[in-house]
Amino acid sequence: MRHLPYFCRGQVVRGFGRGSKQLGIPTANFPEQVVDNLPADVSTGIYYGWASVGSGDVHKMVVSIGWNPYYKNTKKSMETHIMHTFKEDFYGEILNVAIVGYLRPEKNFDSLESLISAIQADIEEAKKRLDLPEHLKFKEDNFFQVPKGKIMNGH
């Protein structure tokens, strides 16, 4: 993706209900309009970067952009796994995402277990890369300085 870093924000919506339940890897899902507004040349695949919920702390994240071939989705989705344990769900909150790097293309898996191990490997690789100075600097980007109590309209 030539447009890296890519910054976007939107309201967290309910996804397919698979991240936490089937995979043990909770994800926050963007509404279709955020996915539809991605640059036209964005490649599907796994990316990494930084994310915050509302005006909360900024955490490492991985994001899957695409069709999720294992699940044969018919709509493109953008699912963010934030590397932080949240005490409760945050549907309806504003998710702020800075995508800073690309890990790998989307691919199909022959089992749920191989999908889960690939995601876990992606998370470990993203953690390492995000510690590099060229990626770490985006954690402090002004994009994440959302004034407390400011109402966001999903843009």
Strands 59-66 and 6-11, bridge-based pairing: unpaired
Rounded Cα distance, 15 and 126, in Å: 23
DSSP state of 152: P
Q: CB neighbours (10 Å) of residue 12?
A: 20
As annotated, the active-site residues are: 79
- Strands (DSSP E) contained in 12-111 are 28-29, 45-53, 59-66, 77-82, 94-104
Strands 45-53 and 59-66, bridge-based pairing: antiparallel
